[in-house]
Amino acid sequence: TCHGINELYASGPLQDMTFSVSEGTIGIHVIYQFTIEPPAVSLRLSGEKDGVIEIASTSGYLYLNGSLDRENKAIHRLQVEALNVTGQKEKGPYSITINVQDINDNPPKFEKSKYFGVVWQNSRPGSNIGTLRATDMDQENTLNSRLQFRIVDQNPKIPLDNLFIIQQEAGTFQLSRSSLNKRVVSNYFVRVEVTDKVFTTLCDVKINVIDINDQIPIFEKSDYGILIILEDTPVGEVILEIQATDADEPFTGSSQIIYQIEEGDQNKNFIIETDTKTNRGFVKINKVLDFEMSSTYNLTVKATNPEPLVQGVQYNSSSTAYFGVVVVDVNEVPVFSQNIYIGNIFEDVPVGTLVMTVTANDPEGDQIRYSLKSNNRNWLRIDTFSGEIYTAAPLDREVEHEYKVEVTATEENTKSQSSTAVFMLYIKDVNDNPPRLAKGNHLFFCHPLHGGVRAEIQATDDDEQLYSPEFTFSLGGGENIKSDWEISRIDGTHAYLSPKHTNLEEKQYSIPLIINDNGKPPLEGNLDLQGLVVGGVFLKMKNKKRKELKKNAVESAELKSLR
Ligand SMILES: *[C@@H]1O[C@H](CO)[C@@H](O)[C@H](O)[C@H]1NC(C)=O
Ligand SMILES: *[C@@H]1O[C@H](CO)[C@@H](O)[C@H](O)[C@H]1NC(C)=O
Ligand SMILES: *[C@@H]1O[C@H](CO)[C@@H](O)[C@H](O)[C@H]1NC(C)=O
């Protein structure tokens, strides 16, 4: 019943068995024939048949209908049973193992489809560039999977063919000759094949030849001469352009140039920046020059590469250039030790008190003369030679508590060279103002008087009020005043004035009022209240004594500060 069965095979009774068959068979391939012993009449096969392994149930042929693939499944495990006429198991199961034997049916494969390598142009023959790897799915450690590499083509063949070799077994890609020259050929395309003797696979390898730093920067000239530079040339200004060239591969660390001032610039007054496109160097001012500190510079500039030079090559004097700088003095204005000076002083200091000393220096060492500007109240004066500032008049915090003037320093020999600083004087309070009335200057009582009428008065004082003021009110004058009028405290700043009885005449009254403050020392205000009768009692405060009181207070404070 089986067509095309023409191969050698064995036969025997049912038992556990192991067979080896080759992968890749075509059509029907008989492996074995089991003999069927009565009462069994047929066989049944189960297990990993994979649609290929079959058994002819009544004749007992174990066969393949198609091909097995070792790379897919190398071992197949099956069971066979003998059945009787009713389909019941008679014997078994017996195990059948089929080992699939490898044939070379897989081509080698490179791990990557393209390889890239780099090689320094001065590399020695035998230098490794890289390793190519390939695999083959056929059975390991057999000839079917043994791979060999070979270079089949090199492009361009300049200056020679066979510049590279590949280790036949290991795939190590190497340089075979040292005749690379980046400037002639910078890229090689090499075709490599790998074979398992049956199949062959190709791949491309691109080799990039890279330059080495074997060229030093060479200055266009070694002496850039002497530059005359003004002392006040601003930081960042380019004072000189320099140029060196390097024949190594452009835009690499082998050809980029770093310019450094090697000698003559201890103070780092100069800096050199390189244009990375052109390798041009720009010498700039890094710190403001100072003629008084250093007036000439002898500068040595060295040009180097960021990459180290290849062995055997060294920088020489062609990588060094010189230039000189002569600094021209610029007469600079005097410089104050501070831009703003701040002083504090009590308002009651005597005229002529030293408040502060300001000083300025001229970089060229010229003598300085001092003067004041914006001294609007003429409260201060300055010593022309020493810069000492004194009070020139009595100060009054109540007039101005932040007195601002400008101090000018002028060079004695060059009047146009001057500079200005601010002097701010904070004037501190002393109790030098007597209390005065803030409210209650005009008091009016209707005539005829009724019991209980009163008028509110309020006191204030021009001194600095750090805490809530506490004034005390009392009446001056003789007994007749006190018998007619009465003052009563409301709080520290307010009081009532009221008539003591209702039979006061319709006329103007003059009532002396004394207000004391709680300053140190306390001051007293003696105020004269006056009234005019116009259908009522009209009281008017006159403040004629205030100025005089204030003058007395200043004098007493002066006396105090002298003590
Ligand atoms: C072999 O397989 C083919 C297709 O799967 C089938 O038609 C044919 O009958 C099989 N032959 C045998 C002898 O099993
Ligand atoms: C600068 O160098 C030149 C030449 O080397 C020398 O003649 C000159 O005296 C030097 N100047 C200073 C200031 O060192
Ligand atoms: C410095 O070396 C270069 C080659 O690297 C050479 O061309 C040049 O002449 C040398 N310069 C001097 C001053 O020796």
User: How far is ligand 2, taken at its centre, from the CA of residue 295, in Å?
Assistant: 13
User: How far is ligand 3, taken at its centre, from the CA of residue 301, in Å?
Assistant: 17
- Measured from the Cα of 3, ligand 1's closest atom is 13
Query: Ligand 2, from 226, 262, 266, 298: best to mutate by most atoms within 8 Å of Cβ?
Result: 298
**Can you identify the CATH homologous superfamily of domain 436-562?**
Cadherins (2.60.40.60)
Q: What is the mean pLDDT of residues 368-376?
A: 95
Ligand nearest to the CA of 27: 1
Pick the CATH number of 218-328 from 3.40.190.10, 3.20.20.70, 3.40.50.300, 2.60.40.60: 2.60.40.60
**What CA–CA distance (Å, rounded) separates 397 from 462?**
9
Q: Whose CA is nearest to atom 8 of ligand 2?
A: 298
Query: Ligand 3, from 218, 305, 309: best to mutate by most atoms within 8 Å of Cβ?
Result: 218
Which helix (H) or strand (E) segment is 388 a member of? Answer: strand 388-391
Ligand nearest to the CA of 54: 1
Predicted confidence (pLDDT) at residue 116 exceeds the cutoff of 50: yes
Q: Whose CA is nearest to atom 11 of ligand 3?
A: 318
**What CA–CA distance (Å, rounded) separates 356 from 347?**
15
Domain extent listing, the chain: 3-101, 109-210, 218-328, 335-428, 436-562
Check if 28 has its Cβ closer than 6 Å to any atom of ligand 1: yes
Contact 433, 348 (CB under 8 A): no
Contact 193, 201 (CB under 8 A): yes
| Identical topology for domains 109-210 and 436-562 | yes
Predicted confidence (pLDDT) at residue 541 exceeds the cutoff of 50: no
**What CA–CA distance (Å, rounded) separates 330 from 229?**
10
**What CA–CA distance (Å, rounded) separates 442 from 461?**
19
- Rg for the chain (alpha carbons), in Å? 58
Fold of domain 3-101: Immunoglobulin-like (2.60.40)
The CA distances from residue 162 to 150, 172, 175, in Å, are 11, 15, 9
Pick the CATH number of 109-210 from 2.40.128.20, 2.60.40.60, 1.10.260.40, 3.40.50.300: 2.60.40.60
Tens digit of each residue's pLDDT (9 = 90 or more) over 117-141: 989 887 889 999 999 999 999 999 9
Q: Whose CA is nearest to atom 3 of ligand 1?
A: 65
The residue ranking higher by pLDDT, 189 or 120, is 189
Residue of 357, 362, 358 whose CA lies nearest to 335: 362
User: How far is ligand 2, taken at its centre, from the CA of residue 243, in Å?
Assistant: 22
Please give the span between the terminal C-alpha atoms of the chain, in angstroms, as a whole number: 147
Ligand nearest to the CA of 327: 2
Q: Would you give the distance in Å from CA 157 to the centre of its chain?
A: 53
Contacts (Cβ under 8 Å, ≥6 apart) of 467 = none
User: How far is ligand 3, taken at its centre, from the CA of residue 318, in Å?
Assistant: 6
Query: Is the domain defined by 335-428 classed in CATH 2.60.40.60?
Result: yes
Tens digit of each residue's pLDDT (9 = 90 or more) over 237-295: 999 999 999 998 888 888 999 999 999 999 999 999 999 999 999 999 999 999 888 99
- Measured from the Cα of 264, ligand 2's closest atom is 14
Tens digit of each residue's pLDDT (9 = 90 or more) over 415-448: 888 999 999 999 988 877 777 777 766 677 777 7
Q: Which residue has the tokens 């560039």?
A: 129
CA angle 496-501-507, nearest 5°? 85
Q: Is 229 helix (H, G, I), strand (E, B) or coil?
A: strand
Predicted confidence (pLDDT) at residue 557 exceeds the cutoff of 60: no
Check if 54 has its Cβ closer than 6 Å to any atom of ligand 1: yes
Q: Whose CA is nearest to atom 14 of ligand 2?
A: 298
